[in-house]
DNA sequence: CAAGTGAGAGCGAACGATCATTCGCAATGA
DNA sequence: TCATTGCGAATGATCGTTCGCTCTCACTTG
């Protein structure tokens, strides 16, 4: 009943926003503002008033959409890694395992940089160390990524495309450490070419995963100058 | 004149504490307490009152030793990575490059876990993303580690013990990303054997660095079961 | 050696600022 | 008409920091 009522209200090719749509829009507006503030000052450093100023909204209005600051943080943490999905499905469609992983890492790194979300990701990691709710959300995200990696490697292994060097779980663990580390590492000031980093990554990953037909894996990687 | 006077006071084989020694002791006591609080609640989450309670000291007393909370944070950040030095010198004395690096990483990981300082390290990384002073201190520490790695690899390269796959800078960058990533990664709940991780690391590092006499590097690494 | 002295150390109440959150009320619109 | 939304002043709590005070003790002085 209520369900039908709320659905029938405005559903045609209607540019205007229904009640629920507007609510969704405002919620997103708050989350976008909060994200900007958290990037700038961290979870504890950013105040509700900061977020309100950024969202051009009063505290009273904001609290109509989120019951607490914690809830805003939780929502943002839950949404933070939604881009991982497409990066991982793109990876899964790549036959060459080494190249697939390298590109996934690189896309992950590039997207993090482009969206300016790097400080947020690190902040989330820090918060996950003490806040149980955040930790659980992170863990869930991580489990998904982990499973994707594992499935990807497992299939390639069954097809005889790769020959893993240790247990798949160990491989995945170190792989994910590399991915996280690239985000944490203080690259921006370092002035290192993307190609160099990709090359180093490629070598590293092919080592732990060992493609059987080393068509370009081992042989074409050239030894380079000092700088 | 004044200098000599202040120096001559108590300098023999004197078990008692001079003025300066006591001051140093109290400073360390505050830093220890602050570290505990920061691990528990983060830099912004831990209050001066928390630190005072932990240090069993009044706010007034604490402010005799540090001019501000910021100063405490700065001091802790500057001291946080002092253990890196011995890990790196230990590494430098290891002829086998791959083994040296693997062991350095592993010691780093183990020490971080044993001291319970993992949340602090992540917190520092997050703070470094926005706080300039913290970032500069981190950068300085990082430059030291970076230089150590580079020197280590460079010497081994000159001696013909390794054959780097890309520019040394790229190798070092990815190496450090792995090190950082291992700390960030949510390992504790994962129940993965240390040996497995070491093995995966070993393969990864030997790939990017390529020991010329692959005495045990490439050949002895066995392919393992799924789990 | 005894008495005196002053800088350093410690305390904890108190400060103004800021925090997350609430509430009464006005405006909106289905 | 009434549930929803927005507002912004107000709330009590807590924040980092200060201040006036007492006490301690290494050193100077007589």
CATH number at residue B193: 1.10.357.10
Count CB atoms within 10 A of the CB of residue A214: 13
**Alpha carbon distance A68, B124 (integer Å):** 26
* Average pLDDT for chain B: 84
Helix, coil or strand: residue B162 = strand
Nearest to B206 among A42, A180, A207 (CB): A207
B94 and B11 both lie in a single domain: no
Residues B96, B92, B174, CA angle at the centre, nearest 5°?
A: 80
The pLDDT > 90 percentage for chain A reads 62
Least confident range from A16-30, B82-96, B106-120, B185-199: namely B185-199
Statement to judge: residues B78 and B142 lie in one domain? yes
Single out the residue in B34, B52, B67 at which a domain terminates.
B67
Chain B: give the shortest CA distance to residue A62, in Å.
Answer: 23
pTM, whole model, 2 decimals? 0.88
B151: nearest CA in chain A? A226
Report H helices in chain B. 2-8, 19-41, 48-55, 59-65, 69-80, 84-92, 97-114, 118-128, 132-158, 168-184, 194-209
The CATH number of the domain where A25 resides is what? 1.10.10.60
B161 and B52 in one domain? no
Quick check: B50 pLDDT over 70?
yes
Q: Which two tokens stand for residue B137?
A: 């201190």
Whether residue A53 sits in one domain with residue A110: no
Mutation choice for A interface testing from B126, B199, B209 by most A CBs within 10 A: B126
> Are the Cβ atoms of A122 and B122 closer than 8 angstroms?
yes
Position B93 pLDDT exceeds 50: yes
B63-75 pLDDT, tens digit each: 999 999 999 999 9
State whether A198 and A158 are in the same domain.
Answer: yes
CB A207 within 8 A of CB B203: yes
Q: Among A3-7, B15-19, B108-112, which is the least confidently predicted range?
A: A3-7
Residues 6+ apart with CB under 8 A from B199: A165, A166, A170, B221
How many beta-carbon pairs below 8 A join chains A and B? 198
User: Can you give the pLDDT at residue B193?
Assistant: 79
A46 CB closer than 7 A to any strand C atom: yes
Tell me what percent of the residues of chain B surpass a pLDDT of 90: 62
Contact state of A174 with B189 under an 8 Å Cβ cutoff: no
pLDDT of residue A213: 54
State the nearest residue by CA to the C1' of D4: A19
The number of distinct structural domains making up chain B is: 2
**Cα-flanking dihedrals φ and ψ of residue B213, to 5°?**
-90, 95
The answer to whether A59 CB is within 7 Å of strand C is yes
- Mark which of B16, B32, B67 sits at the end of a domain: B67
Residues B32 and B134 both lie in one domain: no
Question: What is the DSSP code (8-state) at residue B222?
Answer: P
Residue A60 sits in the same domain as residue A136? no
Q: Is the pLDDT of residue B108 over 80?
A: yes
pLDDT score, position B133: 95
The answer to whether A57 CB sits below 7 Å from nucleic acid chain C is no
State which of B67, B90, B123 marks the end of a domain: B67
Task: Give the confidence band of B194 by pLDDT, cuts at 50, 70, 90.
Answer: confident
**Tokens 């369900």 belong to which residue?**
A3
Secondary structure in 3-state letters for chain A:
CHHHHHHHCCCCCCCCCCHHHHHHHHHHHHHHHHHHHHHHHCCCCCCHHHHHHHHCCCHHHHCCCCCCHHHHHHHHHHHHCCHHHHHHHHHHCCCCHHHHHHHHHHHHHHHHHHCCCHHHHHHHHHHHCCCHHHHHHHHHHHHHHHHHHHHHHHHHHHCCCECCCCCHHHHHHHHHHHHHHHHHCCCHHHCCCHHHHHHHHHHHHHHHHCECCCCCCCCCCCCCCCC
Of B208, B178, B206, A159, the residue nearest B220 (C-alpha):
B206
Residue closest to sugar C1' of C10 by CA: B61
Cα-based angle B162, A179, B139 (whole degrees, multiple of 5): 75
B17 with B117, same domain: the answer is no
Q: Which nucleotides of D are covered by protein (CB under 7 A)?
A: 4-10, 14-20, 26-28
* Mean pLDDT of the region A43-57: 98
B200: nearest CB among A142, A174, A184: A174
The whole-number Å distance from B2's CA to C7's C1' is 14
CB B188 within 8 A of CB A205: no
Q: Which of A129, A167, A104, A14 is nearest to B116 (CA)?
A: A129
Residues A92 and A194 in one domain: yes
- Shared domain for A2 and A29, answered yes or no, is yes
Q: Per CA to C1' distance, which residue is closest to C24?
A: A60
Burial (Cβ within 10 Å: 0-12, 13-18, ≥19) of residue B4 = exposed
Structure tokens at A55: 């969202």
Check whether B89 has a pLDDT greater than 50. Answer: yes
Among the residue ranges B30-34, B69-73, B142-146, the one predicted with the least confidence is B142-146
Residues of A in contact with B145 (CB under 8 A): none
Question: Which domain range does residue B116 map to?
Answer: 71-227
Residues B96, B145: one domain?
A: yes
A184 and B167: CB-CB below 8 Å?
no
**Same domain for A188 and A89?**
yes
Gap between the Cα atoms of B171 and B181, Å rounded: 15
Rounded CA separation B132/B138 (Å): 10
In the 65-124 segment of chain A, residues within 7 Å (Cβ) of strand C are: 67-70
- Taking only the tens place, the pLDDT of each residue in A56-78 is 999 999 999 999 999 999 999 99
Residues of A in contact with B186 (CB under 8 A): 128, 135, 138-139, 142
Q: Which residue has the higher pLDDT, B134 or B217?
A: B134
pLDDT grade for B30, boundaries at 50, 70 and 90: very high
Q: Closest approach of chain A CAs to the CA of B56, in angstroms?
A: 24
**Is A196 close to B119, i.e. CB distance below 8 A?**
no
Please state, in angstroms and rounded to a whole number, the distance separating the CA atoms of residues A140 and B192: 18
């Amino acid at each position: 009943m209520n369900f039908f009522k709320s659905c029938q209200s405005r559903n045609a090719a209607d540019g205007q926003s229904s009640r629920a749509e507007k609510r969704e829009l405002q919620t997103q507006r708050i989350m976008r503002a909060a994200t900007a503030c958290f990037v700038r000052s961290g979870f504890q450093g950013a105040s509700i008033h900061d977020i309100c100023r950024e969202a051009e909204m009063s505290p009273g209005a904001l609290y109509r959409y989120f019951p607490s600051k914690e809830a805003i943080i939780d929502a943002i943490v839950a949404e933070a890694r939604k881009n991982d999905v497409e990066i991982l499905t793109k990876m899964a469609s790549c036959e060459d395992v080494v190249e697939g992983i390298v590109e996934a890492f690189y896309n992950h790194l590039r997207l993090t940089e482009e969206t300016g979300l790097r400080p947020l990701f690190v902040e989330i990691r820090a918060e996950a160390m003490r806040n149980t709710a955040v930790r659980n959300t992170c863990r869930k995200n991580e489990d998904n990524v982990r499973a994707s990696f594992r499935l990807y490697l497992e299939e390639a292994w069954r097809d005889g495309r790769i020959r893993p060097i240790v247990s798949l779980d160990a491989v995945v663990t170190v792989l994910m450490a590399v991915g996280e580390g690239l985000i944490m590492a203080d690259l921006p000031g370092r002035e290192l070419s993307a190609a160099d980093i990709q090359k180093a990554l490629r070598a590293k990953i092919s080592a732990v995963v060992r493609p059987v037909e080393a068509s370009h894996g081992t042989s074409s990687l050239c030894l380079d100058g000092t700088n």
